[in-house]
Amino acid sequence: MIDTILVVAATLVAAPLLGGLISGLDRIATARLQSRVGPPVVQPFHDVIKLLNKEPVAVNVWQVFCAYAYLSASMIAVVLFALGSDLLLVLFTQAVGAVFLVVGALSSTSPYSLVGAHRELLQTLSYEPLLVLVAVGIYLQTGSFKIADTRAWGAPLLLKLPFLYAALGLVLTIKLRKSPFDLSTSHHGHQEIVKGLLTDYSGPFLAFVEIGHWFDVILLLWLCSLFWATSWTGMILLVAVTYALEVVTDNVTARMNWRWMLGYAWAMGLTLSVVNLIWLHVR
Amino acid sequence: MPVSTIPFGPQHPVLPEPIHLKLTVEDEVIKEVVPALGYVHRGLEKLAGTRDFHQMVQIVERVCGICSMMHAMCYCECVEAMMGIETPPRARYLRLIWSELNRLHSHLLWLGLFADSFGFESLFMQFWKIREKVMDLQEATAGNRVIVSVNVIGGLRRDLSPEQQQTILNILDRVEDEMRLLEKPLLGDYTVMKRTKGKGIVSAARALELGCVGPTLRGSGVAQDMRQLGYEAYGDLAFEPRVEKDGDCYSRLKVRYREVFQSIDLIRQAMEKIPAGEIAAVVKGRPEGEGLARVEQPRGEVFYYVKADGKKYLERIRIRTPTFANVPVLLAMLPGMCLSDVPVIVLSIDPCISCTER
Amino acid sequence: MFPMMPAILRNFFSKRATRRYPPMTREPFAEVRGELKNEGSVCTLCGVCAVKCPSQCIVVDKKNATWQWDPFACVYCGVCVDSCKTGSLRQEPLYRKAATGREIVSVKIVLKEQTK
Amino acid sequence: MRAETITPDQLVGACARMKAEGFRFVTMTCTAMDENSFELLYHFDKNLELSTLRLTTSKDSPVHSITAVYFAAFLVENEIQDLFGLRFPGLALDYNRTLYLDEEIRDAPFCKNAAAEKNTAAE
Amino acid sequence: MFEQITRGSRVKSPWLLHYDCSSCNGCDIEVIACLTPVYDIERFGIINVGNPLHADILLVTGAVNHRNRKVLENLYEQMPHPRVVIAIGSCALSGGVFREAYNVVGGVDKVIAVDVYVPGCAAKPEAIIDGVLLGLEKFKKLSNNWRGVGGIFREAETNES
């Protein structure tokens, strides 16, 4: 029991710290790729602390509730992951959070927010099947949906599930809101629907969404690290390389539209997953 | 998703300028567009009643901060023609050099903003990084980064020393090298092509009918460039308009990208041929009668009409800027396109709202 | 596949383009049109600058012997400097600093004739 | 400046002829001659040559819009409606004098003696 | 200590909103130039958010005219406290060369309270950076009047009781 409480507490403290740090590193790396200096590494924390202390302006109560719900769902998902729970349960909790975010955006009247919410739903639609397929792949290999079992698995999963890992990379690009998939919202407001999904979240509620996003990022990166769970070095290296690739992709592509995204994510992701699953089965 | 109305602007990060488009959208496909203007209207033409015709040079420079030099040049040409002033040959070459520098910075600015409109942030940063070199040149030679205030009626206020000419040539070499490196990312990238090819198509006939000008017209395959008129020193230099056939955003992008090299080439030619001598003619008397002048700006043809009756103040000054002529064609391009294509198509005409409304 | 790749990698491994202003300040170009200055000692209060100024931001008060300039309305075009016959006006290469309130620069002119 | 002087009723026909000959519509210029009469210039371009049609009109005799022939003229005709208080019947996209100026402003700033022109288009 | 961290973060994370009133584009492109590699104001944590609800700093360029004055007021109203308004360029300060034009109301301070004035035509990027940094001084002085989420709960409690 004490152990569990300790794990929960440690996760709840470490995840946002790590998430913020990754986001800060991301911004510096992006700036370097663009020949800029970029912000200090702790910039995301400054942003969030500032937002928490801004005047709370809420469009409606529903949106406030959704911001809390999104943050809680993301937190629960990460905590469940840390406890080595069922992978499907974790993914489901996280998806619930994502839906709350969309519902909050839908509850406003701003057209940008509505279009953003609409697109976010389509994005969820395009990556959720892939996430489930990843879970299925892990199950076929390890014989269990339990994260704890996956962690204890003897050989690196990446060697058996390379294509599924690529599909997971696709999901990561969508979830990190990187080009070419930064459709519903993006880090900088330079898009046709400005901040889209996040248009009407402001002040402290935007901060909650941001912290929730950090939890989401941690969850996905942790999922990535499962593919090399045998050694700490392997884990960190794999995550670092994956994230670096995401940052580079962000900087070498233009933003696409949602029709293209839907087609591409499904065609590419499903092909990769199915090829991998068949390959597993045949051997 | 049912039919809904999306207001685009007047405050929008993709379009720094306040134009307001009321988009009627069904399932993210544009059905109808109604523009609303007037957010930048200052009534600048009316100032001709309170500023004399020399001071109007500084006023028309501020019609648009991006092509300031060309506005002033066109106005000066117009008044000079009315007063029968012959500008010295050196001034004609210097005006060409500064106006091509202006075009260079404007096109680089546009290439960056255009890349930003389809979310290619690193490309945007790259073009603006190159652009700073041109801005430095403008600042070092003309004294201001943006408003290149060198024109007076009769010629110029500033001269280029031989060292400055050499600096310009050296820096332009570097600009050219860096621009060559960006050809592939800009014109050969899959995602860029996907976002620009086949978007906002306008045929040559339709473009002419809607009165469109500049790179927008040349992107539709019509070889019309006001520089062919041979104003200032353009008549002495080798010059061919850059034309692309397809009439979509991609070909407009290509036209502007190729015009960057054309400007560099024109500056080099001018530097070789530039004669020594005076830079300004003596201005006596006051303008009388009517005058017209046209100049090719980065965005297309600008049209000046001046009417004077021998007084210190001009009777009427009329400015028709290139974006003003390109708005009708923009309205024809948008319906049927996706919401995500709106910034791309709007920027593909290189809108300058402050020009449009004055 | 990704033609932008060489460009961003070059950026990553080469020096950043940023001029770190502040703390680092770049030497301004020699002929930049910055803040307007009136030397005062050679000014004859002729008022040509006030007449020529397209923005009409200069007020020459002959009675009180002051030359006033509104830096918030000035467009830094340099017409006044070009038209100044005595060379009393000049433009510093540095631009005028940001301020938190409205201000008007007023220079008390001591005319040569009076001092003699 | 070469300009062909025409009467207001010849205008649309002349524009249609211009269009048939392949002229591009450049722009229009309006100048206030005195309190009530205005000079309208229609500029066209073909092969870099400008041709101009000139006509004189007054506030009470509106000139027909040429947007049916050259749609591109809608913007400039709206502008002239705003700034000079003239009216162009048949305008394809009529902003009703609110292209640049707000509804509550009813005087045309470019008219001679603009203060006396208030409420001319209030009908 | 909490207050100090808050204030520190406010100064280090100013998000800006840029509104072009009726500027000639000169100052606007200089504002955008500030975001690009050579000036890179993201060094100070500044992001151009383009959404008044997210912004801390309002950068206004250009003179106010009758039509955009409503837009400007609206944007200013939407921005949550604490906020700073910075007027950039001669036109935004006083109307510049256009202040006698019939459709120009005047400088930004005729419509909303301006905290920092950046002179210039067009204001150079260095001057804009100076202006923004001067504007941040205001955040340093502000006391912590807005208590974020806690504030809402307290309000709800008082309403119930």
Partners of E102 on chain D (C-beta within 8 Å) are: 109
Residue of B nearest to D41 (CA): B305
Instruction: Give the count of domains, chain E.
Output: 1
What percentage of residues in chain D have a pLDDT greater than 70? 87
Quick one: pLDDT at residue E113?
85
Q: Are B256 and B110 in contact (CB under 8 A)?
A: yes
Task: Tell me if C96 and E120 make a contact (CB, 8 A cut-off).
Answer: yes
Which H or E run contains C13? helix C5-13
In this prediction, residue A22 has a pLDDT band, given cuts at 50, 70 and 90, of very high
**Nearest chain B CA: its distance from D123 CA (Å):** 22
Q: What pLDDT, on a 0 to 100 scale, did the predictor assign at position A151? A: 80
DSSP string across chain E:
-HHHHHHHHHHH--EEEEEESS--SHHHHHHHHHHSTTT-GGGGT-EE---TTT-SEEEEES-EETTHHHHHHHHHHHSPSS-EEEEEHHHHHH-GGGTTSTTEEESGGGTS--SEEE--TTPPHHHHHHHHHHHHHHHHH------HHHHHHHHHHHHH-
d(CA B182, CA C6): 10
In a domain, C49, yes or no: yes
The yes-or-no verdict on residue B236 having pLDDT over 80 is: yes
Return the residue of C nearest to E88 by Cα: C98
E93-128 pLDDT per residue, tens = 888 888 888 888 888 888 888 888 988 888 888 888
Mean pLDDT over the full length of chain A: 85
* Predicted confidence (pLDDT) at residue A6 exceeds the cutoff of 50: yes
Q: Using an 8 Å CB-CB cutoff, list residues of chain C that contact chain E.
A: 16-22, 25, 54-56, 70-77, 95-102
Residues of E in contact with C14 (CB under 8 A): none
Task: Give the residue from B81, B60, B83, B63 showing the smallest Cα distance to B72.
Answer: B60
Question: pLDDT tens-digit profile of B13-56?
Answer: 667 777 788 888 887 788 888 888 878 888 888 888 788 888 88
SS (H, E, C) chain A: CHHHHHHHHHHHHHHHHHHHHHHHHHHHHHHHHCCCCCCCCCHHHHHHHHHHCCCCCCCCHHHHHHHHHHHHHHHHHHHHHHCCCEHHHHHHHHHHHHHHHHHHHHCCCCHHHHHHHHHHHHHHHHHHHHHHHHHHHHHHHHCCCEHHHHHHCCCCHHHCCHHHHHHHHHHHHHHCCCCCCCCCCCCCCCCCCCCHHHCCCCHHHHHHHHHHHHHHHHHHHHHHHHHHCCCHHHHHHHHHHHHHHHHHHHHHCCCCCHHHHHHHHHHHHHHHHHHHHHHHHHC
Residue bearing tokens 């996905």: A220
Residues of chain A found within 8 Å of residue E152, distances taken between Cβ atoms: 56, 58, 64
C76–E38 CB contact, under 8 Å: no
Judged against a pLDDT cut of 60, whether residue E144 lies above it is answered with no
Q: CB distance from B120 to chain A under 8 Å?
A: yes
Structural domain boundaries enclosing A64: 2-282
Q: How far is B101 from chain E (nearest CA, A)?
A: 16
User: Which residue out of C77, C80, C90 would a mutagenesis test of the B interface target, given it has the greatest number of B Cβ atoms within 10 Å?
Assistant: C77
Of C2, C3, C12, the CB nearest to A33: C12
* Nearest residue in A to B14, CA atom: A190
Residue D102 C-alpha, separation from nearest chain E C-alpha, in angstroms: 6
Residue contact B132–C17, C-beta within 8 A: yes
Query: Does any CB of chain A come closer than 8 Å to the CB of residue B29?
Result: no
CA nearest to C1 within chain A: A252
Q: Which of residues 21-60 of E touch A (CB under 8 A)?
A: 36-37, 40, 42-45, 47-51, 53-54, 56
Determine the Cα–Cα distance for residues E108 and E88; give it in Å rounded to an integer: 9
C99/E133 Cβ within 8 A: no
- The domain that contains E147 carries what CATH number? 3.40.50.12280
B and E adjacent (3 or more CB pairs under 8 angstroms): yes
D116 lies within 8 A of chain E by CB: no
Which has the closest alpha carbon to B180: A268, E91, C3, A186?
Answer: C3
Chains C and A are in contact, defined as 3 or more C-beta pairs closer than 8 angstroms: yes
Instruction: Give chain B positions within 8 Å (CB) of A111.
Output: 4-7
Given an 8 Å threshold on Cβ–Cβ distance, is B122 in contact with A252? Answer: yes
Report domain extents, chain B.
Answer: 3-357
Distance CA B5, CA B21 (A): 10
Domain D4-106: give its CATH architecture.
2-Layer Sandwich (3.30)
Q: In the B/C pair of chains, how many CB contacts fall below 8 A?
A: 62
Give the CATH superfamily of B3-357.
Cytochrome-c3 Hydrogenase, chain B (1.10.645.10)
**Does B7 contact A at CB distance below 8 Å?**
yes
What pLDDT digit, counting tens, does each position of B92-106 carry?
899 999 999 999 999
Mean pLDDT of B324-328: 87
Residue of D105 and C29 predicted with greater confidence: C29
Quickly state the pLDDT bin for B2 (edges 50, 70, 90).
Answer: low
Nearest CB to C18: which of A33, A37, A249?
A37
Q: Is E12 on the interface with A (CB under 8 A)?
A: yes
> Does C7 reside within a domain?
no
Question: Minimal Cα distance from C95: which residue of B?
Answer: B144
Cβ atoms of A146 and A282 within 8 Å: the answer is no
Q: What is the mean pLDDT of chain B?
A: 86
Give the containing element (helix H, strand E) for D103.
none
**Secondary element (H or E) of residue D91:** none
Which one has a higher pLDDT value, B14 or A83?
A83
pLDDT at residue D29 tops 70: yes
Distance from CA of B320 to the nearest CA of D (A): 7
Query: For residue range B169-194, what is the model confidence (pLDDT) as tens digits?
Result: 999 999 999 898 888 888 888 888 88
User: For residues B220 and B207, is the Cβ–Cβ distance under 8 A?
Assistant: yes
Q: Which chains are adjacent to chain C, needing at least 3 Cβ pairs under 8 Å?
A: A, B, E
The three-state secondary structure class of B289 is: strand
User: Which residue of B37, B42, B52, B71 to mutate against E (max E Cβ within 10 Å)?
Assistant: B42
Contact yes or no for E146 and A53 at CB 8 A: yes
Tens digit of each residue's pLDDT (9 = 90 or more) over A188-208: 767 667 777 787 788 888 889
CA-wise closest residue to B207 among B228, B221, B225, B196: B221
Q: Closest-CA residue in chain E for A52?
A: E148
**D-contacting residues in E 48-87 (Cβ below 8 Å):** 66-67
Mutation to test the E interface, candidates B60, B146, B175, most E Cβ within 10 Å: B146
Q: Does A179 lie at the interface with B, CB-CB under 8 angstroms?
A: yes
% chain B with pLDDT above 70: 98
**pLDDT at site E143:** 53
Structural domains in chain C (count): 1
Range of the domain at C104: 32-115
State the pLDDT at residue A73: 92
Q: How close, in Å, is residue B237 to chain E by CA atoms?
A: 30
Query: Tens digit of pLDDT for each residue in D48-73?
Result: 888 888 888 888 788 888 888 888 88
Q: What is the mean pLDDT of residues C71-85?
A: 85
Give the number of other CB atoms < 10 A from CB of residue B83: 20
Nearest CA of chain B to the CA of D60: how many Å?
22
- Which of A27, A49, A190 comes nearest E5 by C-beta? A49
B26 vs chain D: nearest CA distance in angstroms? 22
Report yes or no on chains E and D touching (3+ CB pairs under 8 A): yes
Q: Is E121's CB within 8 Å of C74's CB?
A: yes
- CATH number, domain containing residue C95: 3.30.70.3270
Strands of D11-114, DSSP E: 24-32, 37-46, 49-58
Residue C72 lies in a domain: yes
pLDDT, position E159: 40
